[in-house]
């Protein structure tokens, strides 16, 4: 048993080392509270003591990166757990800047979130702004139960249009996967879950590469500054 406990501790430590950031929100004294907060370069969390009225039971977490943006080759991964009956808001202080790529290097950001029963997670960042030649991909994975609530805003600007850059980046890829977990039901439903085990209940994604960006530049969408997707679950 001791050996097993040590193995679990090592496994937990390795997961923490692999993740760039980790957050856990639980009820403490009847209030949603961050009980665990870990981050390392290039990611940083800011958790203000007070946001809104004292009657609002919600934890606000601001994510930012050292240097004010994501550098070519950066790989950022964040894990967040919102326990039962808790509310958490994940946002930013400004747009997420993705700097120019060095050669063929890409940058990536991965978010994995677990939302408990009667809990709410709102992921409402400022838009991503990719500089000229930038290559960036992000993947967001959400695990919910039947009475979880989830709000996602996923949006991107055309770039630094005030500097003359309009859709001048090389790659932007974004995917959102929502998994429904812990559902009990009929035998038919159980068989359905087994058949589609591991597949998301909802999946959305979009990719803007060289070809699609070339089409945008020669179309009436050239002067559109923002592309966005919104999800409520």
pLDDT tens digits, 145-157 = 999 999 999 999 9
- Distances 192 to 52, 177, 189, 195 between C-alpha atoms, Å: 43, 19, 5, 5
pLDDT digits (tens, 9 = 90+) for 43-75: 999 999 877 777 789 999 999 998 889 999 999
Cβ contacts of 110 within 8 Å, gap of 6 or more: 76, 77, 78, 138, 139, 140, 141
The answer to whether residues 126 and 97 touch, using CB atoms and an 8 Å cutoff, is no
pLDDT digits (tens, 9 = 90+) for 178-205: 999 876 554 555 555 544 445 567 788 8
Specify the pLDDT at position 199: 58
Helix (H, G, I), strand (E, B) or coil at 122: strand
Does the pLDDT at position 223 exceed 80?
no
CB atoms within 10 A of CB 62: 17
Mean pLDDT of the chain: 84
Interatomic CA distance for residues 47 and 21, integer angstroms: 13
Query: pLDDT-based confidence at 224, cuts 50/70/90?
Result: low
**CA triple 111-112-114, angle to 5 deg:** 140
Q: What is the DSSP letter of 8?
A: H
Does the pLDDT at position 100 exceed 70?
yes
Specify the pLDDT at position 186: 46
pLDDT digits (tens, 9 = 90+) for 113-125: 999 999 999 999 9
Query: pLDDT-based confidence at 4, cuts 50/70/90?
Result: low
Query: pLDDT-based confidence at 229, cuts 50/70/90?
Result: confident
């Amino acid at each position: 048993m001791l050996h097993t406990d040590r193995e679990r501790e090592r496994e937990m430590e390795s997961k923490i080392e692999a993740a760039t950031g980790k957050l856990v929100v639980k009820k403490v004294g009847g209030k949603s509270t961050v009980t665990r907060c870990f981050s390392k370069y290039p990611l940083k969390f800011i958790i203000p003591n007070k946001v809104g009225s004292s009657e609002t039971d919600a934890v606000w977490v601001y994510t930012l990166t050292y240097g004010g943006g994501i550098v070519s080759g950066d790989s950022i991964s964040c894990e967040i757990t919102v326990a039962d009956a808790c509310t958490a808001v994940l946002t930013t202080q400004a747009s997420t800047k993705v700097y120019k790529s060095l050669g063929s290097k890409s940058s990536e950001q991965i978010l994995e979130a677990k939302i408990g029963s009667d809990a709410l997670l709102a992921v409402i960042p400022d838009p991503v702004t990719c500089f000229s030649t930038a290559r960036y991909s992000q993947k967001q994975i959400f695990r919910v139960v039947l009475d979880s609530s989830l709000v996602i805003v996923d949006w991107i600007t055309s770039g630094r249009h005030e500097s003359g850059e309009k859709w001048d980046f090389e790659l932007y890829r974004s995917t959102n996967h929502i998994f429904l977990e812990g559902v009990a039901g009929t035998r038919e439903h159980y068989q359905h879950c087994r058949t589609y085990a591991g597949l998301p209940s909802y999946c959305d994604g979009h990719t803007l590469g060289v070809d699609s960006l070339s089409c945008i530049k020669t179309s009436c969408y050239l002067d559109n500054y923002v592309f966005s997707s919104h999800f409520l679950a």
